[in-house]
Amino acid sequence: MNPVEYFEQLPHDPNDPNPWQALFFDKSIPFDDKAKAAFLYDQGSRSRQYVLPLVRPLARLFIILIQVIKIFTPRKLSSPKLLHRILFYAMKYFITPEANYLIFRHFNLGSEILQVIRDNVPGVQVQMNPLKPVRFADVKNNLFLLHDLNLFNFIIRLNKELKEKNITIKPIPRNELKLDAVSTDGFQFQKFRNGWTNVFDLSSAIEIFTPIYQLFLTDNDFWRASNSLQFDETIGIYLATILNTPENLMVVNNKHPMIPMPTLAAGYRLTLHGLSTEIAHGLLVKIKKEQSENLEMQK
């Protein structure tokens, strides 16, 4: 049974309502149904309930220890290729299908959101490097590191062009928004392994991955990756300006990139980052479908 069917068929006991089912049926924020069901199913898993409370403090302790080690060996342990090989095997053999589905979606959504921003700022030609992974093998190509680099490079290139060409980001009428980059029918990923070892939920996996990520990257790369999470606010402002919907910034929790947060909370903030990305993309999908409906009515 897939997560959507699970929540739709779950009996409702008024004396003991399921909180995840309540959130699944709630439509107050735009969120793809399949992705939302996977996210909530993952949140309600036994792994998150029993493993995460044990993993989180240990992971944060390792972050502190590795930070001390990095003071004396700042670059000797840097190996992005080895890091991504470890992530490849860990994701394939130890993470649940729901968590992998959300991770692969995230890279695709992030690329589409940046493309939408570029397409709706007339006059700019920002060089893009879209990441559209569909299989585990794609992880080996420094996927996570490139994801962080893409964000910083996009912001730098976009704003350099805005300054050089004396352009500002402005609201675009809904019927004139360019949303060709937005996928409305989901993504076709390889079938994710669901063996007896695939037990770790998304939050627990992120907490475990964070010190591993730190260990095999330079201190500068890890700091940049951690601080990139707070650019949710920056991207949110760009989108809110283009869509003329400042109220949607309420769902952004990673804020103030000029005041970096401690790296200890990077795992939790990464989960928030994924949630914000899903909501932003959900809003774009909603608008694109409205455009299609309006065109059909005009025919």
What is the distance between the alpha carbons of residues 273 and 280, in angstroms, rounded to a whole number? 11
What is the distance between the alpha carbons of residues 257 and 140, in angstroms, rounded to a whole number? 29
What is the distance between the alpha carbons of residues 55 and 206, in angstroms, rounded to a whole number? 10
What is the distance between the alpha carbons of residues 67 and 61, in angstroms, rounded to a whole number? 10
93 close to 198: Cβ distance less than 8 angstroms: yes
Q: Is 35 exposed, middle or buried (0-12, 13-18, 19+ CB in 10 A)?
A: buried
Residue 229 has φ and ψ, to the nearest 5°, of -60, -35
Distances in Å between the Cα of 203 and the Cα atoms of 103, 168, 219, 264, 275 are 11, 38, 23, 14, 12
Instruction: Retrieve residue 213's tokens.
Output: 């990520």
Q: Is 276 exposed, middle or buried (0-12, 13-18, 19+ CB in 10 A)?
A: buried
Q: Output the DSSP codes for 77-104.
A: T--HHHHHHHHHHHHHHHB-HHHHHHHH
Tens of pLDDT, residues 62-90: 999 988 888 777 666 688 999 999 999 99
pTM for the model: 0.93
Q: Pick out the chain residues at pLDDT < 50.
A: none
120 close to 182: Cβ distance less than 8 angstroms: no
What is the distance between the alpha carbons of residues 146 and 236, in angstroms, rounded to a whole number? 20
